[in-house]
Amino acid sequence: MSKTRSSSAGAAKLPELPRSIATIAAQHLEREIIEGRLDPGERLIEEEWAEKFGISRGTFREVLRILEAFKLVEIIPRRGAQVASVNRRDVEEIYILRKHLFQLAYMYATPNLNDDALRQFQAIVDDMECVAERGDAVEFTALSQKFDELVLDVADIARLRMLIEFLGKQTIRYRYMGFKIAGRIERSLAAHKRILAAFKAGDGERAGAAVYEIIEWAGKSILSAAFGDGPAEPVIPENGRAREESERPPRPSRRKVG
Amino acid sequence: MSKTRSSSAGAAKLPELPRSIATIAAQHLEREIIEGRLDPGERLIEEEWAEKFGISRGTFREVLRILEAFKLVEIIPRRGAQVASVNRRDVEEIYILRKHLFQLAYMYATPNLNDDALRQFQAIVDDMECVAERGDAVEFTALSQKFDELVLDVADIARLRMLIEFLGKQTIRYRYMGFKIAGRIERSLAAHKRILAAFKAGDGERAGAAVYEIIEWAGKSILSAAFGDGPAEPVIPENGRAREESERPPRPSRRKVG
DNA sequence: TGATAATTAATTGTCGACACTATTACGTGC
DNA sequence: GCACGTAATAGTGTCGACAATTAATTATCA
């Protein structure tokens, strides 16, 4: 539904340009990584995966390059590729940016809202309310994402969507943890109600502030859920400042087990 | 100097991991595109360029994938790659985001400032003042970029830098136009003085507001310089909203001339 | 027994070739 | 002269093979 991104009206019917095999394979591997079926740091052996996808190594190499650009895999020259790992600091960073970017999206969306869009937002919030009673976290998250998607459609800044997607892909693994966080649904629902009200009032500032807050809260929750509490890793720079490679699997071991 | 990004202290001495040939070639082609030596829409024939770089087509294909991720080339399956084109709306978008992202950078940098960093900023502004008297736009721009780089170092949010770079690469072609804009140096110099003062006062808000303004102004100037005035292309959607592919070279013609 | 050096195996880097497709150029009929 | 269909050609899609390099294993020596 949000896949084709043909949000509102039964819009466009682009010629649906054929996607290259590399792109398709990239999307598949991306899902594997994003949805956590592959562990961070896990090696991605070209021949192995090429065979899995039924493509040649050369083509799979393109796949790796694509995913490298999204920071989903790390390519170490002459040593191979591995699933990118995300440490605590990375998640902190991403959530800092995420909250600001969504704030922008919601702010820029507001003046573009029309009655039709407002109705759609209202419908989603209604659904949320319904789902919240059941306590269905998975479905609630889907609705929340639908809401965000629609906002991005309305904001109509293609690159803003790209930036958010770029960051989002790197944290979905962790966002799934959000399911279990106590009070998440209630908070999020309340936030969305506030946002909807702000939308109706044409108050972009307030809408933006509301997402900002809820994302900030979500970020903190996920951080403590995933990495335990404490104000970020102690981060004791060796010489002034050199976090960077602080935490990394010792080295991709050649054989899985032996 | 800003190349190695070893900002302040004579930091780190990472093993300087060897870069793959594809990465290097990608950087070269990137420069060609970014610095405007290749026209937007120009076809990039694999064999041709592979030979130019002394690499094989397969490797150049990786190059194309890398640059595609940065939106510097467009790959149309079964039809080939071409230098990405940027229309007026793209530039508008990019500048909207650019000003917000830099605002963030400057805001987040402020609390991290120490005396050493402040001295460096002071030095750059001094240089700027000097260069401004000569009216050397090129050198002034270099200093301005150095200033930005340093801010990003201090802000210390790796992904913020990435996002800014991502957007920046797509507009350098146009930013060069900024050289010629009347009053640019004076305005920019004044802005940087304000920023420096804000930094010294530890006032991130003010610093952020200052960059925001100067970038907004720069964006507008470049827009009118590059595309003429008028409030964005008329953008008359065919069916609700479908700008997207509005303006694009008719199709990459097979042969250059005939 | 522990450390170091030679050997072996696994995996990446790179290339050249062939198959396939889309675009152009040409030719035929109306 | 124009529309349509057909042949030629440029260029991409894909593959398999070989060379180079790194990491793991074994052998050697103190």
Condensed to tens digits (0 to 9), the pLDDT of residues A166-202 reads 999 988 777 777 777 888 899 999 999 999 999 999 9
Taking the CA of residue B82 and the C1' sugar atom of nucleotide C28, their distance in angstroms comes to 36
Taking the CA of residue B78 and the C1' sugar atom of nucleotide C22, their distance in angstroms comes to 8
pTM here?
A: 0.84
Does residue B59 approach strand C to less than 7 Å at its CB? yes
Query: Contact B160/A9, CB-based, under 8 Å?
Result: no
Between A211-215, B212-216, B221-225, the lowest mean confidence (pLDDT) is in: B221-225
Type of residue numbered B110: T
Residues 151-180 of chain B with CB under 7 A from strand D are none
| Protein residue closest to D21, using CA and C1' | A78
Mean pLDDT across B155-160: 97
- Write out which nucleotides of chain C lie closer than 7 A to a protein Cβ: 10-17, 21-25
> By three-state DSSP, how is residue B74 classified?
strand
Q: What is the pLDDT of residue B229?
A: 67
What is the phi/psi pair of residue B150, to 5°?
A: -65, -40
Between A66-75, A227-236, B235-244, the lowest mean confidence (pLDDT) is in: B235-244
Which of B241, B245, B246 is the mutation pick for testing A, counting most A CBs within 10 A? B241
Q: What is the pLDDT of residue A255?
A: 37
Shortest CA distance from A26: residue in chain B = B65
Q: Which two tokens stand for residue B82?
A: 């071409």
* Chain A residues with CB-CB distance to B22 below 8 A: 65
* Residues in contact with B199: Cβ distance below 8 Å, sequence separation at least 6, in sequence order: B109, B110, B113, B118, B121, B207
Query: Contact B240/A8, CB-based, under 8 Å?
Result: yes
pLDDT tens, A103-134?
999 999 999 999 999 999 999 999 999 999 99
Per-residue confidence at B49, pLDDT binned at 50, 70, 90? very high
* Chain A residues with CB-CB distance to B62 below 8 A: 61-62, 65
Residue matched to tokens 């390519």? A75
What is the phi/psi pair of residue A189, to 5°?
A: -60, -45
Mean pLDDT across A18-34: 91
- pLDDT of residue A48 exceeding 50, the answer is yes
DSSP B37: S
Higher pLDDT, A250 or B77: B77
| Protein residue closest to D12, using CA and C1' | B78
pLDDT tens, B74-103?
999 999 999 999 899 999 999 999 999 999
Per-residue confidence at A226, pLDDT binned at 50, 70, 90? confident
DSSP A73: E
The Cα–Cα gap between B125 and B135 comes to: 15
A 117-136 residues inside an 8 A Cβ radius of B = none
A78-A80-A86 Cα angle (round to 5): 130
Taking the CA of residue B23 and the C1' sugar atom of nucleotide D26, their distance in angstroms comes to 37
The Cα–Cα gap between B52 and A148 comes to: 45
Taking the CA of residue A57 and the C1' sugar atom of nucleotide D18, their distance in angstroms comes to 14
The Cα–Cα gap between B52 and B68 comes to: 19
